[in-house]
Amino acid sequence: MAYALRELICERTRGAVLSERLSWCPPTVDASTIRSYLRHRFGEPLDVAYTELPDLGPVQVGWTYALPSDATVPGRRDAYAPVAIPLYEDPDDGSLVSLFVRQAEYHRLGQTLLEAGTVASVEHVPIEEAEWEPGEPAP
């Protein structure tokens, strides 16, 4: 399964997107190493990035980072933040899907089945994080 990043530079107050690009992660990156990979690329995250979805409510979609010193933005630099949104390639149709949105959809499905009495319990099993080793250069 291939992983990618939707990289944005957003205005902090309004959320307006100044720039956007898609980059593919090295093949050694997976769900367990994505946070480590992002730390190698962007440094420590400053905050969590959220979006509001009609059926799911607020959902974490990624993390915000410090603006690189060579980034050009209009106006004050502290008014903008890079946002990294991890995606994966859906094995069924090849579309790129947000890891966090898919997780929220599965959580919602589990809650619906639980409320309907279809299942007796729903357990969230977090992914055990592993350290990404930069065996391949980042794109």
Domain coordinates of the chain in residue numbers? 3-98
pLDDT in tens, 77-126: 989 999 999 999 998 999 998 888 877 777 778 888 888 888 887 776 66
Dihedral class, residue 121 (left if φ above 0, else alpha if ψ from -120 to 50, else beta): beta
pLDDT in tens, 13-23: 888 899 999 99
- What is the token pair recorded at 134? 């930069």
- Which residues have C-beta within 8 Å of that of residue 136, sequence separation ≥ 6? 26, 27, 28
